[in-house]
Structure formats: C-alpha cells, structure tokens
C-alpha cells in the first residue's frame, strides 16, 4: 500500500490560493509471504524457504524479480551473509502446477528473475540455503532473511521477512585410541575415549548419555577415570569380565557446550568444542 497526496493552486488577479491536500491510497495487488520450513538452523544445515506471491488483481503480473538478501547484516562496516544458496534447489509452482525453474543469480544477493503471477492466482518459489560460518551458532542466534519483489505492475517493491533461530542442542562426536599400540599377554592397556560437543548446549545428567564398548580381548582389573576423577564400578560404570561388555551408568557422562568466537576481521564464527575424557585401563 502506498499513500499519495495532491494539492491544487488557484491564481487570479496576481494572487494565489491553495486547495486542501487530498490523500489517496494505491492498494497493493500483490501479497508476499516468506516461510522457513524448519524454523531453526545449525551451521552447515540446509534451511528450506517458501515464498508465496498472491495476485489479488485482475491483470497478470509478469517479469517480476524476487531478491533474497540471504540474511545479510552489517559487521564492522561490511556486509556478511549467513546463508548460501544451494545450487539447483529452486522450484516454481503457479496455481499449484510445476513450472520451469526461474533464472537464478546465486549472489549474494540471491535473485530469481522473470516470475509471473497470474491474475487472481499465486506463484510459489521453494528453495534451500545453507547456514554458513557467518550464522550465529550460539543460543539465541538468529538469521533474519528478507525477500524483495519488484517489477512492472507494482507501485513499489514488496517485502517479506522470515526469522529462523539457532538450534539449542548438543552435537556430540566420540573418538577412541589405545596405548600402547603393541601389547603382550598380561600387559596393561589403556583405552581413551574423547567426547567432543560442538553444540551450544551442554550434555547434562538428564540427557542420559551412555558409552558402551565390548573389549576384545577381555580386560581384567579395570581402572576407570572420567575427566581425571576415579570412577567406581556399580556407581558410575558397569563391567562384565565374562563378556568384556563395558557401559557407563546413564547420566554420568557430562560434556560442556562449545564456545564460539566471531573473527574480528572476517566476521566468521569459529567453535571450540566442549570436551570430556573417559579413560579405561585394564590387563589383557
């Protein structure tokens, strides 16, 4: 919707007088909405966007250009973009019927060209963008993403915005090493389990994280520590010397959340994973 004003001037015998100011409205015939299917993101994850263009007028709108700012925001005087268009993911539907994919300029900004919206109908553009290193991974992080629609038949560009939030969850990986690598019978051997959390939420007792392993060859006379603190069988872990099955008690594995830093020059985020270490030593 655009408001316009108009005022007339009457001149006579060297004098002039102005009329009142008349106000009018140009009603938008195009209505745009933008929706993220997932509603949240994790860096590296694809986000699916749906842009719906509805033409309430009785004349088709042709040659429209849809520009997506890919969530661009100012960082130290430059614009960084937390989303990257995923090539080949765009689909176009007119009144629910699949159409040839529009012309795409990946950007940033991302541009879809030559969009037609039929009279009294709609066009729907579906595409994916990947959250990248400029997407804030911390709890409370957001990506505010705006599309702008412009072209003949529109009195002014139309915009639609969608906000997605960073997923609040742990993201765990585990690695295992053995020392020494070469052993003989009756030697002591040590297994080291390193759990890394690259997520923005710590693993707490109620998450019931558990490590299980079947030692082969079977170990005896176990000594177990977690983050350097000795553990007791039956309290923090269970072990069956007949089968070699080792398991931690649910709720004993705790892992801090990752910490994040934004590069002061580039604006890219880096993560330092939270780490927990379980060490199991036994005799072969």
Q: Which of 146-155, 188-197, 273-282 has the lowest mean pLDDT?
A: 146-155
Same domain, 203 and 267: yes
Q: What is the pLDDT of residue 181?
A: 83
Looking at the fold, whether 271 and 192 belong to one and the same domain comes out as: yes
Span 231-263, pLDDT tens digits: 999 999 999 999 999 999 999 999 999 999 999
Tell me: do 107 and 181 sit in the same domain: no
Based on the fold, state whether residues 236 and 119 are members of the same structural domain.
Answer: no
Asked if 136 and 204 sit in the same domain, the reply is no
pLDDT exceeds cutoff 90 at 40: yes
Q: Could you say which of 166, 182, 199 is where a domain stops? A: 166
Exposed, middle or buried, 82 (CB in 10 Å: 0-12/13-18/19+)?
Answer: buried
Decide if pLDDT at 21 tops 60.
yes
Q: Is 69 found in the same domain as 29?
A: yes
My answer on whether 60 and 136 are in the same domain is yes
Name residue, tokens 């176990």: 222
Indicate whether 114 and 201 sit together in one domain.
no
pLDDT of 15 strictly over 90: no
CA distances from 131 to 40, 43, 144, 150, 172 (A): 10, 5, 12, 26, 19
Are both 234 and 183 inside the same structural domain? Answer: yes
Q: Kindly state whether residues 39 and 82 are assigned to the same domain.
A: yes
Task: Look at residues 166, 192, 226 and tell me which one is the last residue of a structural domain.
Answer: 166
> Domain holding 56: CATH number?
2.60.40.740
pLDDT tens digit string along 48-68? 999 999 999 999 999 999 999
pTM: 0.82
The reply to whether 27 falls in a domain is yes
For the chain, percent of residues with pLDDT exceeding 70: 96
Residue 10 lies in a domain: no
CATH of the domain at 200: 2.60.40
Q: Which residue has the tokens 């997520």?
A: 199
Residue after which a domain boundary falls, among 166, 201, 229: 166
Quick: pLDDT tens for 100-153. Answer: 999 999 999 999 999 999 999 999 999 999 999 999 999 999 999 999 999 988
Task: Show the domain range for 234.
Answer: 172-283
Q: Which is nearest to 146 in space by CA: 73, 63, 45, 56? A: 73
Task: Give the model's confidence band at 16: pLDDT under 50 very low, under 70 low, under 90 confident, else very high.
Answer: confident
Number of domains in the chain: 2
């Amino acid at each position: 919707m655009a408001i316009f004003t108009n005022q007339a001037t009457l001149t006579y015998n060297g004098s002039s007088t102005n009329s009142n100011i008349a106000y009018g409205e140009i009603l938008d015939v195009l209505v745009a909405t933008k929706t993220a299917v997932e509603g949240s993101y994790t860096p590296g994850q694809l986000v699916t966007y749906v842009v719906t263009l509805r033409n309430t007028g009785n004349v088709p709108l042709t040659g429209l250009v849809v520009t997506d700012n890919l969530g661009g925001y100012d960082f130290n005087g430059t614009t960084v973009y937390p989303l990257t268009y995923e090539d080949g993911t765009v689909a176009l539907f007119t009144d629910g019927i699949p159409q040839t994919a529009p012309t795409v300029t990946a950007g940033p900004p991302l541009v879809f060209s030559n969009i037609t919206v039929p009279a009294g109908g709609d066009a729907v553009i579906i595409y994916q963008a990947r959250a990248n290193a400029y997407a804030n991974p911390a709890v409370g992080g957001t990506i505010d993403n705006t599309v702008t629609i412009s072209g003949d038949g529109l009195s002014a560009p139309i915009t639609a915005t969608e906000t997605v939030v960073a997923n609040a969850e742990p993201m765990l990986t585990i690695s295992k090493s053995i020392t020494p690598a070469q052993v003989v019978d009756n030697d002591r051997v040590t297994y080291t389990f390193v759990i890394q959390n690259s997520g923005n939420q710590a693993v707490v007792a109620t998450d019931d994280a558990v490590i299980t392993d079947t030692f082969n060859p079977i170990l005896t006379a176990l000594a177990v520590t977690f983050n350097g603190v000795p553990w007791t069988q039956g309290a923090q872990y269970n072990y069956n010397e007949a089968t070699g099955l080792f398991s931690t008690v649910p709720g004993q594995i705790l892992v801090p959340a990752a910490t994040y830093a934004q590069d002061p020059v580039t604006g890219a985020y880096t993560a330092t994973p939270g780490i927990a270490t379980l060490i199991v030593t036994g005799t072969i």
